[in-house]
Structure 1
Amino acid sequence: MQNSFTFKNAQISYSDQGKGTTVVLIHGFLENSKMWKKITPELIKRNRVITIDLLGHGKSDCLGYVHSMGLFAETIEGVLKHLRIRKYILVGHSLGGYISLAFAKMNPSKIKGLCLLNSTSNNDSEERKNLRKRANEMVQNNFEAMVKMSVSNLFHQDNLLKFKDEIEVVKNEALQTSVQGYIAANEGMKNRVNESQFLKECSFKKIIIIGEKDPILDYQTLLLEAKYTNSEFVVFPDGHMSHIENASELITVLKEFIKSC
């Protein structure tokens, strides 16, 4: 069941299920807490699982036209303070990983473990920043086409037919994001800082889950990042959407990681 929390006059939607170690699941760009629908039922068997719709996504409101990683993190902090939860494991997919790092930097003593799922501690390259700038211009006139293309580009090409039905669901959920939410998140991602040094120095457990054929994040670069930051890493054979393309394997990895924290 979805609940609501007010943060700076914005309504933030979240769910709170299960008992045990608290695990906070943070979705990615153009996603919402429904992305965890295969993961949550497995994790709540032994854990308390919090899912949150990020600003401008799902049922949560926007706060202006720039949602920085810090602002996203403050929102999550507000929900967890509201629930009076003091220690937790963070699992962030893509954008959710960037936010997890910003949150961990604000609250290092409260983190038991951090999982970057198809995500990175590195900032955007100049090329990526230009792509985001162009996308924010195009989305104002061609929102539906841009969103559908963005979603398709997250999967490994060989999986487009295999996961055709799942991709349609992802597209429909993505279209629930407002134009303002799209632009604000993209601006925040474009301006985020490199957190690899912070991740390296963190004392809590950390893991990076990598898609070998991820069309968004370079496989070899992520391997080097995992080694540099002293992070455990797991490689799946597919793309950027491991919660769909490698769901059962992901559940196994997350259970083991949570148990080890």
Structure 2
Amino acid sequence: MKQVLYKNTTISYSDTGKGTAVVLLHGFLENQSMWKDLTPILSHKNRIITIDLLGHGATECLGYVHSMENNAEIVKAVLSHLRIRKAIFVGHSMGGYVALAFADLFPQKMKGLVLLNSTSFEDSAERKKNRARAVKAVKSDYETFIRLSIANLFSPDNRERLRDTIEKVKKQALQTPLQGIVASLEGMKIRKERVFVLQTANYPKLLILGKKDGVLNYEDNLNQIENTDTQLVSFRDGHMSHIENKDELKTVLLNFFKSI
């Protein structure tokens, strides 16, 4: 792992391989270790950059609210440090929200965009209330909140089959500090709708959804790519396609990168 300073905050990242730059952004309660199985394959012909977002992994907290724009700024700081002018972005869940914020703020740096189990829609009113409840829940019982949150990311069909893997994901999530969790929940709650990125950006775009995703309703999230040139790939399982549909995802991403 390497580090760069941004506003006196330590940002952790990795840089592997050579070729087209690809930035992999993890989701809420995750860190860059989520990409460890994919990076060796993807880095054969690409330069793979993974980054711990604010308050996750080895990256420090920046404040009481980590907006998607704040996270986009630290991503830009890493790319500037590495002198990378353009990159393909792959964002899982919250990482997708950050990739969209980056695309909005720095469109000239985009070469391609993959939303993995993510959405360009803002939170609904109900979802915002759920975020507020989640803040109270994690402050009240940190460990129970994380264990329940992680289990719900997997489709019911896979919870027994992937029991050992899910336990490992929970252990990783338990390394996320309370401040990082709360700041991210607050940041996701206030994020903007960015459907216009999918509608207007002229670089290749790909949306990957799970049909049994308990976090993002599959049918509802098809609406965001209507009348756009965004490609769609649908997997049969839940919110954790990098685990539940690992082999298929490798193929999809390699083909997407090759097409750019």
State the TM-score, normalized to the length of structure 1: 0.98
Kindly provide the CA deviation profile for residues 100-142 of structure 1, in whole angstroms up to 9, marking residues without a partner as x.
Answer: 0000111112211000000000000111100110110121120
Residue in 2 that maps onto 1:86: 85
Residue in 1 that maps onto 2:202: 203
Quote the offset at 1:224 in angstroms.
2.0
Within-5 A mapping of 1:106-185: 106-185=105-184
Separation in 1 of the partners of 2:225 and 2:219? Answer: 10
Separation in 2 of the partners of 1:56 and 1:245? Answer: 26
Which amino acid in the other structure matches residue 26 of structure 1? L
Separation in 2 of the partners of 1:91 and 1:195? Answer: 16
Separation in 2 of the partners of 1:206 and 1:198? Answer: 9
SS in 2 for 1:140: helix
Which amino acid in the other structure matches residue 29 of structure 1? F
Paired residues of 1:197 and 1:229 also in contact (CA < 8 A): no
Separation in 1 of the partners of 2:228 and 2:155? Answer: 26
Which amino acid in the other structure matches residue 214 of structure 2? P
Quote the offset at 1:230 in angstroms.
2.7
Paired residues of 1:196 and 1:229 also in contact (CA < 8 A): no
1:222 to 2:221 alignment: yes
Paired residues of 1:67 and 1:184 also in contact (CA < 8 A): yes
Which amino acid in the other structure matches residue 5 of structure 1? V
Separation in 1 of the partners of 2:123 and 2:251? Answer: 30
Within-5 A mapping of 1:5-24: 5-24=4-23
Quote the offset at 1:74 in angstroms.
0.1
Paired residues of 1:27 and 1:93 also in contact (CA < 8 A): yes
Q: Structure 1: which 5+ runs fail to align?
A: none
1:69 to 2:68 alignment: yes
Paired residues of 2:89 and 2:112 also in contact (CA < 8 A): yes
SS in 2 for 1:55: coil
Paired residues of 1:210 and 1:235 also in contact (CA < 8 A): yes
Separation in 2 of the partners of 1:24 and 1:211? Answer: 22
Quote the offset at 1:229 in angstroms.
3.5
Which amino acid in the other structure matches residue 121 of structure 2? N
State the TM-score, normalized to the length of structure 2: 0.99
Separation in 2 of the partners of 1:105 and 1:39? Answer: 27
Which amino acid in the other structure matches residue 46 of structure 1? K
Separation in 2 of the partners of 1:6 and 1:167? Answer: 32
Residue in 1 that maps onto 2:57: 58
Separation in 2 of the partners of 1:30 and 1:148? Answer: 11
RMSD (Å), alpha carbons: 0.8
SS in 2 for 1:166: helix
Kindly provide the CA deviation profile for residues 65-120 of structure 1, in whole angstroms up to 9, marking residues without a partner as x.
Answer: 10001000000000000000001000000000000000011111221100000000
Kindly provide the CA deviation profile for residues 201-246 of structure 1, in whole angstroms up to 9, marking residues without a partner as x.
Answer: 1111000001010001111112222224331000000000000000
Residue in 2 that maps onto 1:103: 102
User: Identity of counterpart residues, as a percentage?
Assistant: 54
Kindly provide the CA deviation profile for residues 20-74 of structure 1, in whole angstroms up to 9, marking residues without a partner as x.
Answer: 0100000000000000011101001110000000110001100111000100000
SS in 2 for 1:25: strand
SS in 1 for 2:140: coil
Task: Please identify runs of 4+ aligned residues in structure 1 that moved more than 4 A.
Answer: none
Separation in 1 of the partners of 2:196 and 2:83? Answer: 30
Q: Structure 2: which 5+ runs fail to align?
A: none
Separation in 1 of the partners of 2:182 and 2:241? Answer: 25
Which amino acid in the other structure matches residue 8 of structure 1? K
Paired residues of 2:103 and 2:197 also in contact (CA < 8 A): no
Which amino acid in the other structure matches residue 74 of structure 2? T
